[in-house]
Amino acid sequence: MAFRLGSLKLPRLGKTSRKDDPYWDFFINRPPADLANTVTEMIRNAPAGNVFPTKSELHTPEITSSHLKGMAEYFGAELVGVAKLDPNENLEGFPFAVICAVHADYDPRSAPGIGGQVPVQNGLFITFVLSAWIRELGFRATAAPDPDAEKFAARAGLGALNKDGRLVTPKFGANVHVANIIRTDLPLAPDG
């Protein structure tokens, strides 16, 4: 239990220790025997839905961006940015990429357990619902994993790349997971 004092919360006090939990390592590091037991697999395999036939009335790109970011934060994103795509990255006619990131206590690339994949699970939740919401606004959006996700994140102002090409953010350092990139034609104002 965190020590609750509102804005005066002390970050170190009451932080949960996992030392007395004999199963924690299994949770974080043991790869699942059946991938059908993981929510990440269910969401990854889900097909994208249709774009709503009527476009919603939107305000300026700046306001739309702020609403999109507020929505992503409400779904659980801790860092959100919008990057403008170059014409050569923009083969399907998506001018913008929305990048959401969540903190990751354990690096999901080296922790294959259900617990180690929790940041991936949270990221998939955000990008699934957020891209579905954009399609319901009447604009195209696809959420897909991208090998250059961290480069896009750096371009959208979430942080900087270190010498290994990993994203480093002011708030979480390198303990950050960049979720699927949402490419969209929703008129947005790019960051960075």
Partner 1 sequence: MAVNRETNTQAPSTSSNGAEFPAPYLGRTVRLVGPHVNVDMNQSPHPKNARGELGKPLFNWYRNTVSHDQLTRVSAPNHFADRRHFLTNVINRSSNGKVNTERVAVDDPAAMARHIKAVALYMGADVVGIAKTHPSFLYAPGGGRYVQDGSAKDDFQRNSPEDLARNFPYIIQATTAWDYNKLQAHRHHIGDAAYHVSQMKGVMVLKALEGYIKELGYTALRGVVTPQAAGVAGGIGELGRNGLVINKNFGARIHMPDPILTDLPLVADEPVDIGVDDFCKICRKCANTCPTNSIPFGDKVVHNGVEKYKINWLTCYKLRPYVHEYWGSCLTCAAVCPFTKPNVWWHSLATWALHTCPYFARPALVGALKWIDDHFWGMTRTNRVRWLGYDSGVKPGDQACTVAGCTASHDGKGTANADGGTFGYYAPLKENTNRFVKRDA
Contacts of 102 (CB under 8 A, 6+ apart): 76, 77, 78, 79, 119, 122, 123, 126, 176, 177, 179
CA 42 to chain centre: 17
- Residue 188 CA to residue 61 CA, distance in Å, equals 4
Segment interacting with partner 1, rule: CB under 8 A, options 65-73, 148-156, 165-173, 184-192: 65-73
Q: What does the buried/exposed string (b/e) look like for 123-150 if buried means 16 or more CB atoms within 10 Å of the residue's CB?
A: bbbbbbbbbeebbebebbbbbeebeebb
Segment interacting with partner 1, rule: CB under 8 A, options 19-27, 80-88, 150-158, 164-172: 19-27
| Interface residue with partner 1, options 10, 46, 144, 160 (CB under 8 A) | 46
| 90 makes contact with partner 1 (CB under 8 A) | no
| Interface residue with partner 1, options 10, 14, 42, 144 (CB under 8 A) | 42
| 22 makes contact with partner 1 (CB under 8 A) | yes
- Nearest distance, CB of residue 129 and partner 1, angstroms: 6
Burial class from Cβ neighbours inside 10 Å (0-12, 13-18, 19+) for residue 88 reads exposed
Which residue number, 6 or 87, has a Cβ lying nearer to partner 1?
6
For residues 131 and 156, the answer to whether their CB atoms sit within 8 Å is no
| Interface residue with partner 1, options 89, 107, 136, 146 (CB under 8 A) | 136
Which residues of this chain interact with partner 1, rule CB under 8 A? 4-6, 16, 18, 20-24, 26-27, 30, 32-39, 42-43, 46-50, 52, 56, 59, 63, 66-67, 70-71, 74-76, 114-115, 118, 121-122, 125, 128-129, 132-133, 135-137
